Amino acid sequence: MVKQLSKHSISEELKELLSSVDHVQKIEKNRFLFQEGEDADQMYIIQSGRIQISKISPDGRELSLRICQKGDIIGELTLFTDDATYLLNAKVLEDAEVAVIKKDYLERELLTNTELAFEYMKWMSEHFRKTQTKFRDLVLHGKKGALYSTLIRLTNSYGIKRPDDILIDIALTNQELANFCGTSRESVNRMLSDLKRKEVLELDKNKNKIIIKDLQYLKDEINCENCPIVLCSID
Amino acid sequence: MVKQLSKHSISEELKELLSSVDHVQKIEKNRFLFQEGEDADQMYIIQSGRIQISKISPDGRELSLRICQKGDIIGELTLFTDDATYLLNAKVLEDAEVAVIKKDYLERELLTNTELAFEYMKWMSEHFRKTQTKFRDLVLHGKKGALYSTLIRLTNSYGIKRPDDILIDIALTNQELANFCGTSRESVNRMLSDLKRKEVLELDKNKNKIIIKDLQYLKDEINCENCPIVLCSID
DNA sequence: GTGACGGTGTGACTTTTATCACACCATTAT
DNA sequence: ATAATGGTGTGATAAAAGTCACACCGTCAC
Tens digits of per-residue pLDDT, A124-133? 999 999 999 9
For residue B200, being part of any structural domain is answered with yes
Portion of chain A with pLDDT greater than 90, in percent: 70
Domain that holds residue A193: 141-231
In chain A, how long is the greatest CA-to-CA distance?
Answer: 57
B108 CB within 8 Å of a chain A CB: no
pLDDT tier, A116 (very low <50, low <70, confident <90, very high otherwise): confident
Q: How far is the CA of B218 from the C1' of D4 (A)?
A: 39
Residue nearest to nucleotide D17 (CA to C1'): A187
Q: Kindly determine whether the C-beta of residue A194 is less than 7 Å away from any atom of nucleic acid strand C.
A: no
B83 CB within 8 Å of a chain A CB: yes
For residue B1, being part of any structural domain is answered with no
Sign for the pseudo-dihedral over CA of A12, A15, A18, A22: negative
Q: Kindly determine whether the C-beta of residue B203 is less than 7 Å away from any atom of nucleic acid strand D.
A: yes
User: B75 and B140: one domain?
Assistant: no
What integer pLDDT is reported at residue B58 of this predicted model? Answer: 84
For residue B30, being part of any structural domain is answered with yes
User: A120 and A208: one domain?
Assistant: no
Average pLDDT of the residues in A224-230: 86
In tens, the pLDDT along B135-147 reads: 999 999 999 999 9
Average pLDDT of the residues in A191-196: 96
Q: Where on strand C do bases come within 7 A of a protein Cβ?
A: 6-12, 16-21, 26-27
Using DSSP's 3-state secondary structure scheme, residue A32 falls into strand
User: B98 and B188: one domain?
Assistant: no
Portion of chain B with pLDDT greater than 70, in percent: 92
Distances (CA, A) of B40 to A53, A185, B63, B230: 32, 41, 20, 28
A84 CB within 8 Å of a chain B CB: no
Average pLDDT of the residues in B149-162: 96
Chain mean position to CA A212: 19
Average pLDDT of the residues in B183-202: 97
In tens, the pLDDT along A131-173 reads: 999 999 899 999 999 999 999 999 999 999 999 999 999 999 9
10 Å CB burial of residue B8 (0-12, 13-18, 19+) is middle
Average pLDDT of the residues in A95-103: 93
What integer pLDDT is reported at residue B52 of this predicted model? Answer: 97
pLDDT tier, B204 (very low <50, low <70, confident <90, very high otherwise): confident
What integer pLDDT is reported at residue B1 of this predicted model? Answer: 44
- From A63, A126, A128, residue closest to B136, measured CB to CB: A63
User: B141 and B218: one domain?
Assistant: yes
User: A160 and A227: one domain?
Assistant: yes
Q: How far is the CA of B173 from the C1' of D7 (A)?
A: 8
Cβ–Cβ below 8 Å for B121 and A228: no
CATH code, B97: 2.60.120.10
User: B96 and B30: one domain?
Assistant: yes
For residue B130, being part of any structural domain is answered with no
Cβ–Cβ below 8 Å for B136 and A61: no
User: A158 and A120: one domain?
Assistant: no
User: A126 and A170: one domain?
Assistant: no
- Of A131, A163, A197, at which residue does a domain stop? A131
- From A125, A225, A228, residue closest to B79, measured CB to CB: A125
Q: Which nucleotide is nearest to A196 (CA to C1')?
A: C9
What integer pLDDT is reported at residue B95 of this predicted model? Answer: 92
Average pLDDT of chain A to the nearest whole number: 90
Q: DSSP of A111-176, one letter per residue?
A: HH-HHHHHHHHHHHHHHHHHHHHHHHHHHHTHHHHHHHHHHHHHHHHHEEE-SS-EEE-S---HHH
Q: How far is the CA of B162 from the C1' of C17 (A)?
A: 34
Q: Which is nearest to B41 in space by CA: B94, B79, B11, B8?
A: B79
What integer pLDDT is reported at residue A17 of this predicted model? Answer: 64
8-state DSSP, A55:
E
Contact A224, A57 (CB under 8 A): no
In tens, the pLDDT along B102-124 reads: 998 899 989 888 888 999 999 99
Q: Kindly determine whether the C-beta of residue B142 is less than 7 Å away from any atom of nucleic acid strand C.
A: yes
C-alpha count within 13 angstroms, C-beta hemisphere, residue A171 = 7
User: B40 and B89: one domain?
Assistant: yes
- From B114, B138, B223, residue closest to A139, measured CB to CB: B138
Q: In chain A, which residues have their Cβ closer than 8 Å to the Cβ of B146?
A: 139
- Crossing angle for the helix pair B142-158 and B114-140, nearest 10 degrees? 140
- Of B112, B146, B179, at which residue does a domain stop? B112
For residue B124, being part of any structural domain is answered with no
For residue A91, being part of any structural domain is answered with yes
pLDDT tier, B22 (very low <50, low <70, confident <90, very high otherwise): confident
Q: Kindly determine whether the C-beta of residue B38 is less than 7 Å away from any atom of nucleic acid strand D.
A: no
Whole-angstrom distance, CA of residue A218 vs CA of residue B145: 27
Using DSSP's 3-state secondary structure scheme, residue A197 falls into helix
Domain count, chain A: 2
Q: How far is the CA of A209 from the C1' of C2 (A)?
A: 29
For residue A3, being part of any structural domain is answered with no
